[in-house]
Amino acid sequence: MFPFRRSKRILSAFAALLLLTCAGCLPSAPQSATPVPSNEPVVLAPPSASPLPTPLPEPALKYLFLFIGDGMGPKQVQAASEALLAGGREPLHFLGFPVVGNVRTKNIDRETTDSAAAATAIATGTKTLNGYLGLDENKNRLVEISETLRDMGRKVGILTTVSLDHATPAGFYAHVDSRRSYDMIADDLFASGFDFFAGGRFHDTPDVAEHAAENGYTILSSPADPAESADKLIVSSGLVFGDYGVPPAIDGGARAGWLKQCTALAISRLDQPNGFFIMVEGGRIDYFCHYNDAGSFVAELLDMNDALAEALAFYTAHPSETLILVTADHETGDVSLSEGDRAVLLRQTISCDNCDDTLVAQCVSAQTPFSDALPLFAAAFGLGELTADETAYLKEAYGHTLKGDLPSSKSNEEYGVYEPITSACATLVATRAGLRFGSGAHTGKDVSVYALGVGSEFFAGNYENTKLHDAILQAVAAYPLS
């Protein structure tokens, strides 16, 4: 069949590309043999029995990865990609994938979706209302791709950097008509029987430990501390970091590499003869686009890209059995790009949340004068040399912060959701980078899907987000396990 052959070519080409990246490690080819003197007859050696190339095994779709950057529109991807390029760093892994599709994201009754309706569309192939999870607009229960694959014998892992009961991860296991029904969502999580979860902590579920024990789950505080037990696992970052979500990637520290480590642990726990389905969400890209913090959303996107490296390493070892998809549920922030120094997006080293909680709190408490505070903020946001206009802009914002003379709504209007000095620093980063936020909300913009591996050909084209579900099923049917 056509897709069968085409996929093999894609596999071969990409496997060759991956191998080429290691070509420098190989010993160089031997020099040609000493020339034969021309006055002697040339005796041709019998053709050597050169080994036939080992044929690739028949593709069978055993392992599926679905990476979802929440709020990750094409301009978010472009900004991160160009920042890496400007910073002399390795490009985003998924931009090299051989198949790219364009995905429309509207929900069933409006142009702009939320993460619940979008996750439901991707997971079930049915558009629904905002706020609904795993239900159609009439509240009929839908079957999620994760459930279908579980029933086909694959192990299932759901990973996110927001809380485990948040809309996108819940779209792959829950069936409720409100994304805020956290207690019911948690019940559905435990009833799913999925083998691995990783994310922040639960909301309204005080008896999580009890639920977990009853349903055969062991809760871990860290992916670095995997249980020996054969139980199903839940890695809950809240046990270490406290917050509902995993702390911002840009703030580093103990948080660094958390999603990558969880992805590696999921792969090692779920690899079995019938394969797995692993959904990994970069959930805080959306959060920082809502709050117009450009350096922080880029850090979240790069954090998901680091986790993707684990899937790529697995693909390299299992190229004829693995499909990797990278996509988004919708765009957030109405991001546009113009001329600018994208590398400044990589120099910011603090999230606006953390800046408010630490640097601003300390300065306000000590009533630190602007001349002393400015170098601290400039360093945290990687601002370097400041022009007179930039300095004046920060000075005015800092004055408002010290005096606390802007009510939160006014601060929101003039500067953003953070303290005026924090928002002003984030605005300077974005302005220098040539990045502009048109809003603090979701938009109806299209997103992209990047596909690599067995069945990737089903993801080319221009289509509604529901097709992602359908195309996964098509790929699974086209490349069955023997």
Residue number with the smallest Cβ distance to Zn ion: 286
Establish how many alpha carbons lie within 13 A of residue 407's alpha carbon, considering only the half-sphere containing its beta carbon: 2
Q: Environment class of residue 427 by beta-carbon count within 10 Å: exposed (0-12), middle (13-18) or buried (19+)?
A: buried
DSSP 177-206: S-TT-HHHHHHHHHHH--SEEEES--SS-T
Pairing type for strands 335-337 and 435-437 reads antiparallel
Give least dist CB 70 to Zn ion, A. Answer: 7
Q: Which of 208, 169, 201, 172 is nearest to 187 (CA)?
A: 208
Which is nearer to Zn ion, 291 or 459 (by Cβ)?
291
42-50, 192-200, 279-287, 321-329 -> range binding Zn ion (CB under 5 A): 279-287
Please report how close the Cβ of residue 286 comes to Zn ion at its closest, in angstroms. Answer: 4
Alpha carbons 187 and 214: distance in angstroms, whole number: 12
Cβ 71 to Zn ion shortest distance, Å: 6
Query: How many CA atoms within 13 Å lie on the side-chain side of 261?
Result: 16
Query: What x/- string results for residues 282 through 301 when contact with Zn ion is judged by CB under 5 A?
Result: ----x---------------
Q: Which is nearer to Zn ion, 283 or 295 (CB)?
A: 283
CB closer to Zn ion, 281 vs 286: 286
Q: Nearer to Zn ion by C-beta: 286 or 306?
A: 286
Give the H/E segment covering residue 68: strand 63-69
Residue 303 touching Zn ion (CB under 5 A): no
Q: Which is nearer to Zn ion, 195 or 300 (CB)?
A: 300
Considering beta carbons, is residue 56 or 441 the nearer one to Zn ion? 441
Q: Tokens for 216? A: 């055969």
Closer of 147 and 286 to Zn ion (Cβ): 286
Count of chain residues binding Zn ion (CB under 5 A): 1
Which residue's CB is nearer to Zn ion, number 297 or number 450?
297
Q: How far is the CB of 20 from Zn ion (least distance, A)?
A: 39
Find the part of the chain contacting Zn ion (CB under 5 A) among 100-108, 203-211, 278-286, 298-306: 278-286
Packing angle between helix 115-124 and helix 466-478, nearest 10 degrees? 20
**DSSP reduced 3-state for 469:** helix
| Least distance from Zn ion to the Cβ atom of residue 103, Å | 17
Long-range own/partner contacts, residues 178-187 (CB < 8 A, 24 or more apart): 178/131, 178/132, 179/114, 179/115, 179/116, 179/131, 179/132, 179/133, 180/131, 185/133, 186/211, 187/211
How near is the Cβ of 76 to Zn ion at its closest, in Å?
13
Could you tell me which stretch among 139-147, 237-245, 280-288, 398-406 binds Zn ion (CB under 5 A)? 280-288
Instruction: Give the integer Cα–Cα distance in Å for 154 and 193.
Output: 12
Q: Indicate the residue among 322 and 332 with the shorter CB distance to Zn ion.
A: 332
Closest CB 289 distance from Zn ion, rounded Å: 8
Q: Give the footprint of Zn ion on residues 413-432 (CB under 5 A).
A: none
Bridge partner residues of 69 (DSSP):
282, 328
Q: Are 205 and 174 in contact (CB under 8 A)?
A: no
d(CA 378, CA 425): 8
C-beta of 163 vs 320, nearer to Zn ion: 163
Looking at residues 72 to 101 of the shown chain, list those that interact with Zn ion (rule: CB under 5 A).
none
Smallest gap from Cβ 115 to Zn ion, in A, equals: 6
Cα separation of 477 and 482, whole Å? 12
Q: Closest separation between CB of residue 460 and Zn ion, Å?
A: 28
Rg (CA), the chain: 25
User: Minimal distance in Å, beta carbon 441 to Zn ion?
Assistant: 8
Neighbours of 49 (CB within 10 A): 6
Residues of this chain that interact with Zn ion (CB under 5 A) are 286
